[in-house]
Amino acid sequence: MTVLTMPQQAIRIRPFRTEDYPGIVAVHNVQFPDYADTPEQWQFHDERREEKIRWGRFVAEDTNGQIIGYSNYSQAEDMYHPQKFSVNVIVHPEFVAQGIGKSLYHQVLEAIAPYDPILIRANVREDYVRGVRFLIDRDFVEEMRDWESRLDPQAWNPEAWQSAKTKVAEQGIVIKSLSELAGTDPERDQKLYEMDWTITLDMPSPDTLTKPSFEHFQKHVLESPDFMPDGWFIAIEGETYVGESALWRSSTDTSLYVGATGVLREYRRRGIATALKIYALEFAKNAGCPCVKTWNAQSNRAMLSINEALGFEKQPAWISYAKTLKVEEEA
């Protein structure tokens, strides 16, 4: 436990406890109102981490026990390396510039030190100037950018895009939702898992990708409270899944998130990705959704072009920063 003596009060930094979920999520939601979460959502993912994943969390609280900041470290199942970590430091806006973030960050560094870390990563939106400066001052270097884009489905005209759906149908490609496939394809989940991973491998990434287990896919995707089988669309040729566009529900409002849109390499440049996106936007419009949010790597020009044509508007980019602690030894 760390105690910081501030001009008017003492701030205590301690390890996270289960009962802290509401407090840390409240801080998160103040800092990121456009990406609000629920305590249940955080706990869901925490409890389903693979055993090999090293992770931990710390909270900063005032003398009244109110949580005013938190930090955490973790590892990603789909980009796993035993000596590489993602870190996060968030302080309530009313308590910034008091050294709390610095102390939370050092607490994380101390916690991961026994694992001999060689690299740490952090993400921040480019217009969060204080967060960007915090990382740059600590020798983090930009790795890649993801553009966030948004579209209002209620203002979007699906009639203008029906010919794109027809073009794909004429090629013998059928598009169905996961809900529709549930009763007709007993191998749906396994086929989805394999196709989704193949598509993921072709997406830009800051590091080497590692394939999570099917069990992980079941626990984190198919069993997620935000999973929407009626809003996840699959392009099919015969019995082969060849593409997808997935919508995820928000836990706190009626907006929707695009998890992934992609097509197997041998089926590209045939308009399938555009058609999948049209099905997803039609679903969002019919559901009364006011906003669809998606993220694409700055280098993914093909998908960015589809989004731009459909009417998505760019928002500030999210930047992945990395700090090398040691040079990685060659295997």
**What tens digit of pLDDT does each residue of 237-273 get?**
999 999 999 999 998 999 999 999 999 999 999 999 9
CB-CB contact of 35 with 250 (8 Å):
no
CATH architecture of 2-117: 3-Layer(aba) Sandwich (3.40)
Other CB atoms closer than 10 Å to residue 193's CB: what's the count?
20
Would you report the helix, strand and coil content of the chain in percent, each value rounded to 5? 40, 30, 30
Per the DSSP assignment, residues forming a β-bridge with 72 are 57, 88
CB-CB contact of 122 with 106 (8 Å):
no
3-class secondary structure, 10: strand
CB-CB contact of 140 with 122 (8 Å):
yes
> 0.85 exceeded by the pTM?
yes
Give the least confident one: 4-18, 172-186, 203-217, 256-270. Answer: 4-18
CATH of domain 148-317: 3.40.630.30
Angle at 193 between CA 124 and CA 185, to 5 degrees: 140
pLDDT above 60 for 5: no
What phi and psi values does residue 286 have, to the nearest 5 degrees?
-65, -25
Integer Cα distance of 254 and 143 in angstroms:
32
Task: Please report where in the chains the tokens 């049209």 appear, as a residue.
Answer: 278
* Mean pLDDT, rounded, for 124-145: 95
Q: Do domains 2-117 and 148-317 have the same CATH topology?
A: yes
Share of the chain above pLDDT 70, in %: 96
Integer Cα distance of 186 and 196 in angstroms:
17
The string of pLDDT tens digits covering residues 40-72 is 999 999 999 999 999 999 999 998 899 999 999
pLDDT above 60 for 291: yes
> What is the band of 7 on the pLDDT scale with cuts at 50, 70, 90?
very low
* Mean pLDDT, rounded, for 262-288: 96
In the chain, where the domains are located: 2-117, 148-317
**Residue positions counted in the chain:** 331
Integer Cα distance of 282 and 276 in angstroms:
10
pLDDT above 70 for 146: yes
> What is the band of 10 on the pLDDT scale with cuts at 50, 70, 90?
confident
The string of pLDDT tens digits covering residues 195-242 is 999 999 999 999 999 999 999 999 999 999 999 999 999 999 999 999
| pLDDT at residue 229, rounded to an integer | 97
